[in-house]
Amino acid sequence: MSKFICDRMLKRLAIWLRLFGYDTLYAGDIEVEGDEDSFLINEFRDRILLTRDRELYNRAKGIRPVFLIRSNRLEEQLKELKVLGLRYELRMDRCSICNTPLRKPSDKEALEVMKREGIREDLREKFELWYCERCKKLYWMGGHWRNMKKFLEEHGLA
């Protein structure tokens, strides 16, 4: 499965790639000393650099795997990436916020998050839950999940 690093112009794309289960770093989440473009060119070379910055793309070409995204619109960006053979199937594999792999929560973890976030405890009976150890966040396939699936279907990405 492909791994990515997205420049600062592609935060929303990074989130969606995580929702599809792709290991995706976002430049805005990484503490960088010095020039960020040079960092993106020289670090994490096992990942495909996704960028909207033509200058960064031209500098990186031939040095590392890089893909130039032309569109501002998420649905068009996803269509552009189809040439890489990506599959757009929503999964509960990675935290959309920090990219950490998700796992099943313990009862204690689930209850702590529910109490902190004001989530009703009967959620555990209605939905399967996933947990991000780093963010201490719960995930489930609720209304937002249906909305994301609808978005993919409406744009011919499902």
Element (H, E) at 66: strand 66-68
**Does residue 139 lie in a domain region?**
yes
Contact 57, 66 (CB under 8 A): yes
User: What's the domain range around 114?
Assistant: 107-154
- Give the predicted TM-score (pTM) of the model: 0.94
**Does residue 93 lie in a domain region?**
no
pLDDT, residue 121, reads: 87
**Does residue 97 lie in a domain region?**
no
Higher pLDDT pick, 158 / 4: 4
- Considering the domain architecture, whether residues 20 and 71 belong to the same structural domain is answered as yes
Distance CA 83, CA 86 (A): 8
In this predicted structure, the answer to whether residue 1 has a pLDDT above a threshold of 80 is no
Contact 137, 97 (CB under 8 A): yes
pLDDT, residue 85, reads: 95
- Considering the domain architecture, whether residues 64 and 7 belong to the same structural domain is answered as yes
